[in-house]
Amino acid sequence: MKIRHFLRPTSSNSVTQLRIFQITRQYCVDTSKVVDEINLKFAEAREEIQMTLDSKETMYFDERLLAKLPEKEKRRNIEVYRTQN
């Protein structure tokens, strides 16, 4: 982002005033766009944090791996899972 310094015009003609207004307006629009993008990223991060906190006590297991276990081990793993929930 280019930083612009605004100085008062030495003359008060309307063309100079209009140009200063246009530059100022463009700067404000660019700034607002950047602020909106940052706010969106923070909102997404808050959602991710909330989802993480909601699932912190959740236990996940790989069903494909469970299918490969012998039946006795499957029952034992399922029982352990149920007692923890």
Both 18 and 41 in a single domain?
Answer: yes
Both 45 and 69 in a single domain?
Answer: no
Both 62 and 50 in a single domain?
Answer: no
Residue 52 and residue 28: Cα distance in Å, rounded? 36
Residue 20 and residue 54: Cα distance in Å, rounded? 51
Beta carbons within 8 Å of 74's beta carbon, 6+ residues apart: 66
Residue 5 and residue 23: Cα distance in Å, rounded? 10
pTM as predicted:
0.42
pLDDT single digits (tens) 37-77: 899 999 999 999 998 888 887 767 677 877 788 888 878 87
Domain count within the chain: 2
pLDDT single digits (tens) 9-32: 455 567 777 777 777 777 766 777
Is the pLDDT confidence value at 1 over 80? no
Both 49 and 63 in a single domain?
Answer: no
Q: Rg of the chain over CA atoms, in angstroms?
A: 30
